[in-house]
């Protein structure tokens, strides 16, 4: 696809491809047969005959897609195609006890687990790079900005600590997602497998390495909502970090640059070196909220099987996994390319006015809080030196008014180390 290298970068694209979904559905069918053998319903040899044919490359994706129109989903024609491939004595046991949604929901959980694993590889590597950057610039003074205007001195280390804390915490939440198998038959009773239904469900989940749900969740879509929410959270963290990088890389600011040979050029402006990885990370991440909203809207599903809301989940779930993977992959690239310019950070400090809060606090005990505030504000507006108010010039050193910035950096690094040790 034309836009994939920008908006579907990284390893997740392959994990949510048509071939990946097809293999996940076949993995579910193979596990179903083996689970029934585990429960004593069919011979192990029959289960292995079925499982042996559950290889995606043996099936035509386009043909299955065309046949899906007749039943409203691709699992039904896949079950028929699989039945035709297995030995005659095994055919009556293919897809036994399952409904199409069991196979597709389970496939969605397998696809999600595999995609999330790929996302986390890039996410944790990015966090490690942020940790290094944070430690290196623990005490590098930088202007703290609120409402896009300079407010008080901070450190670049603390800026990065905020990035690290947010992304690391979101990563921990994503790592905590535990997909569950789906198996309930037509209305969630597994009646066609009674009385062995619960035993088959347990073996099915175990075979797939998925959680065993207490009950089938055909129209209780909390698992999809939870997954969507945490993926959206990850993308929110990426968008924040990438947005900060873009702002700090502006020509007029120049506190960061993405340094990479041949990257970031313009088609018309030879002098441009755009932070293209951060831009691409942000472009991927900002697509997430709409996809999350769609998946949450799909949660209202009727009775025991939904009429359309379930079907509406498939593409946005795959897209959300894809854009999250792309966003995190690009952010990792951006962070690995960053060059920090401490001298520009120091030069950008707006001068004495950046210490106005400190001066006002120093004057308050003698002048009163409101009076001190107004006196300092008038002094700044008039362009006079704050020393004209009788304060010690040493109070006007930005490096002397950083509060607990260093301690907070240390705490963020300690939390990162705990997360890293727990991986």
Catalytic sites, residue numbers: 266, 305
State the DSSP H helix or E strand holding residue 153, giving kind and residue range, or none if neither.
Answer: strand 149-155
Cα separations (Å) of 149 from 145, 278, 311, 401, 409?
Answer: 5, 22, 47, 18, 23
DSSP one-letter string for 46-67: HHHHHHHT--GGGS-HHHHHHH
Q: Quick one: the chain helix, strand, coil %, rounded to 5? A: 65, 5, 30
Point out which residues pair with 150 in neighbouring strands: 145
- Please count the CA atoms within 13 angstroms of the CA of 29 that sit on its side-chain side: 32
Q: What SS3 state is found at 211?
A: strand
Structure tokens, 307: 């009429």
Q: Which residues of 94-129 are buried (b: 16+ CB within 10 A; e: fewer)?
A: bbbbbbbbbbbbbbbbbbbbbbbebbbbbbbebbbb
Residue from 303, 323, 290, 321 nearest 101 by CA: 303
Instruction: Name the CA dihedral angle for 331, 333, 335, 340, rounded to a multiple of 10 degrees.
Output: -130
Q: What SS3 state is found at 42?
A: coil
> Distance between CA atoms of 107 and 98, rounded to whole angstroms?
13
DSSP one-letter string for 265-277: --SS-TT----HH
DSSP one-letter string for 169-203: HHHHHHHT---B----TTTTS-GGGTTSHHHHHHH
> Distance between CA atoms of 142 and 227, rounded to whole angstroms?
37
Place of tokens 């043996």: 58
Report the phi/psi class of residue 290: left, alpha or beta, with left for phi > 0 and alpha for psi in -120 to 50: alpha
Q: What are the φ and ψ backbone dihedral angles of 123, each rounded to 5 degrees?
A: -65, -45
Pairing of strands 141-146, 149-155: antiparallel
């Amino acid at each position: 696809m034309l836009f994939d290298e920008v908006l579907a970068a990284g390893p997740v694209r392959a994990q949510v491809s048509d071939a990946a979904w097809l293999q996940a559905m076949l993995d579910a069918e193979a596990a179903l047969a083996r689970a029934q053998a585990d429960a004593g319903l069919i011979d192990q040899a029959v289960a292995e005959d079925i499982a042996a044919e559950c290889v995606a490359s043996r099936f035509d994706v386009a043909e299955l897609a065309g046949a899906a129109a007749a039943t409203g989903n691709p699992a039904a024609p896949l079950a028929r195609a699989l039945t035709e491939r297995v030995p005659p004595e095994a055919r009556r046991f293919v897809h036994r006890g399952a409904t199409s949604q069991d196979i597709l929901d389970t496939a969605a959980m397998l696809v999600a687990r595999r995609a999330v694993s790929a996302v986390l590889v890039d996410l944790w590597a990015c966090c490690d790079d942020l940790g290094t950057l944070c430690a290196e610039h623990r005490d590098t003074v930088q202007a703290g900005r609120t409402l896009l205007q300079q407010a008080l001195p901070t450190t670049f280390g603390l800026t990065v600590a905020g990035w690290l804390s947010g992304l690391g915490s979101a990563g921990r939440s994503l790592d905590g997602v535990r997909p569950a198998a789906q198996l309930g038959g037509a209305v969630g009773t597994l009646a066609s497998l009674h009385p062995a239904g619960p035993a088959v469900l347990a073996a099915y989940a175990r075979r797939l390495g998925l959680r065993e749900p207490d009950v089938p969740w055909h129209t209780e879509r909390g698992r999809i909502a939870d997954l969507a929410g945490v993926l959206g959270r990850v993308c929110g963290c990426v968008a924040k970090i990438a947005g900060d990088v873009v702002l700090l890389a502006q020509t007029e600011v120049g506190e960061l640059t993405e340094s990479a040979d041949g990257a970031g050029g313009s088609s018309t402006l030879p002098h441009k070196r755009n932070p293209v990885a951060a831009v691409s990370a942000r472009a991927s991440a900002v697509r997430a909220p709409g996809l999350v909203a769609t998946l949450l809207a799909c949660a209202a599903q009727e009775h025991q099987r939904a009429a359309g809301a379930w079907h509406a989940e498939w593409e946005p779930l795959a897209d959300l996994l894809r854009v999250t993977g792309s966003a995190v992959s690009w952010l990792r690239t951006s962070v690995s390319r960053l060059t920090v310019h401490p001298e520009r950070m120091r030069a950008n400090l707006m001068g004495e006015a950046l210490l106005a809060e400190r001066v006002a606090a120093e004057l308050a005990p003698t002048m009163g809080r409101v009076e001190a505030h107004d006196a300092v504000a008038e002094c700044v507006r008039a362009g006079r030196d704050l020393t004209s108010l009788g304060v010690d010039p040493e109070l006007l050193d930005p490096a002397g008014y950083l509060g607990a910035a260093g301690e907070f950096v240390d705490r963020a690094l300690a939390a990162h180390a705990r997360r890293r040790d727990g991986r």
